[in-house]
Amino acid sequence: MSWAGTIYALSTGIVWIAFTCFVVVALRNLVALAQLLIAAWVFLTRVKPGDGARDLWHRYADLALPISVIAPAFNEQLSIVQSVKALLALEYPEHEIIVVNDGSKDDTLGELLRSFDMYEAQATQIAALQHTKILGTYRSRRYSNLLVVDKENGRKADAANAGIGFARTPLVCIIDADSIIEPDGLLRAAEPFMYDDRLIAVGGAIRIANGCTIKDGSLQKIGIAREMVPRFQIVEYLRAFLMNRVANAHTNTLTLISGAFGLFRRSTLVEMGGYRHDTVGEDLELVVRMHRFMRDNRREYRIAFVPDIVCWTEAPAALQGLDNQRARWQQGALETLQHHRGMIGNPRYGRIGLLALPQIVLEDILGPPAELLGYLVLPAAALLGLLDPMMAVAFFFVSVVFGCVLSVGTLVLEEQQLKRTPSARDLLRIGVAAVVENFGYRQINLWYRLNGMRRFFRKDSTWAAVPRAGFTSA
């Protein structure tokens, strides 16, 4: 091939790459816009829980199914005592707490034993779903509904499975050990189970606890972290829970219930064999497999989402921890798509196969490399005269400016519906973060997601831990 032919082929390739990047990013943002509009419609037409909702829930508390709250814990000594105190103080008629110490290398177990006056007990499992050995079980002398299970390390999925095996209630709530459930959070999440026998899982909205004041496991004051990294994550969580999850639940395409808080029908989990052990994205994989299991067995079912805040969790305060978390999330999404690739585009699985999983493909396979590559290729192509400069300007608009609009739109939803931002000053801080995140933080996140892709293709199954600073006490 001549030099002219080589240059022509290279130029054509650059133009096609630029065009593909633009189309992928535009499609992804159009999906997000549709989700924002659907979420806005849901919020505008729903009946918001009023001041008397809690009294009403308590009045009909005898209809609430008993719940086992399972909290897998690994190296959580900084926050485990406060978290357990919050779980014990939950406003729920009948619930037990099962803390699973997953081979912690710090003093997580010791903190539990000392703080709750625990003694060794002989609790037995009714379903052994975990792969690792149970080392001991302990009960509290002060709290009859508190059980601690000590086991060899097997990661969160294995710890959750161990807890499910010890649970004896119809419903199980799987949470992160560093999560703080609001006092009536369980009541809100369990309410749909009172009147819908088809329901097998419920997710709830989660917010960032960094900057909040926590005392004895209870949220005393909502605050905003001084660091920008947690502030950016506040915006991300608002988009994820008030836009994506609300819209997906409304269209019956919800495929993710966050590992920080999820309520499940125990019999379904046991029948499915619990969480998978060979993925780092166990929360996404579980819900996708639930859809597959129920549809393969031709059973009627429903998976719901509670848009009101039910849980607060500590987010990574530094970029290193964020890197580990986002790479793991990305790797988990790819592993889930690989495990269930036969569902993608398959009419047998209805909206999940035709809409939900293709959306994950767009978001987690095509989206990150396309957007990151677009930031480089489109300006270069414009400078080389291969593209109209307005094409590069349009890409900047659909990626950065459009991202600002989506974030601010979600913030408006939060202020109109939940009103959990404590002051106008804090609302302004989050609004600034919603704009600034698109200039650097967003691109760094894309790079972290590419790290997750590299881990997936290298089959790197090591667990990248996220450093914790612990909750701020009053």
Residue with tokens 């495990």: 339
Residues 6+ apart with CB under 8 A from 138: 112, 113, 118, 119, 120, 121, 147, 148, 149, 150
pLDDT value, residue 67: 96
CB distance 468 to 79 below 8 Å: yes
> pLDDT tens for residues 363-380?
989 999 999 999 998 888
329: helix, strand or coil: helix
Name the average pLDDT for the chain.
89
| Structure token digits, residue 443 | 């691109």
- In this prediction, residues 247-266 reach a mean pLDDT of 94
428: helix, strand or coil: helix
> How many Å apart are CA 350 and CA 354, to the nearest integer?
6
| Structure token digits, residue 365 | 């396979």
Query: Of all residues in the chain, what percent carry a pLDDT higher than 70?
Result: 93
pLDDT value, residue 56: 52
> How many Å apart are CA 199 and CA 65, to the nearest integer?
13
> pLDDT tens for residues 92-129?
888 999 999 999 999 999 999 999 999 999 898 998 99
Q: Is the pLDDT of residue 37 over 90?
A: yes
> How many Å apart are CA 18 and CA 451, to the nearest integer?
22
| Structure token digits, residue 458 | 């290298």
Q: How confident is the model at residue 249 (pLDDT cuts 50, 70, 90)?
A: very high
> pLDDT tens for residues 412-431?
888 887 788 888 899 999 99
Q: What single-letter amino acid sits at 295?
A: R
pLDDT value, residue 265: 96
pLDDT value, residue 344: 97
How many helical (H) and strand (E) elements, i.e. helices and strands, does the chain have? 18, 13
> pLDDT tens for residues 136-167?
999 999 999 999 999 999 989 999 999 999 99
> How many Å apart are CA 441 and CA 451, to the nearest integer?
15
467: helix, strand or coil: coil
Q: Is the pLDDT of residue 468 over 70?
A: no
CB distance 326 to 464 below 8 Å: no
> pLDDT tens for residues 377-425?
888 888 888 888 888 888 888 888 888 989 999 998 888 877 888 888 9
> How many Å apart are CA 360 and CA 330, to the nearest integer?
11
CB distance 277 to 152 below 8 Å: no
pTM across the whole model: 0.92
- In this prediction, residues 56-64 reach a mean pLDDT of 64
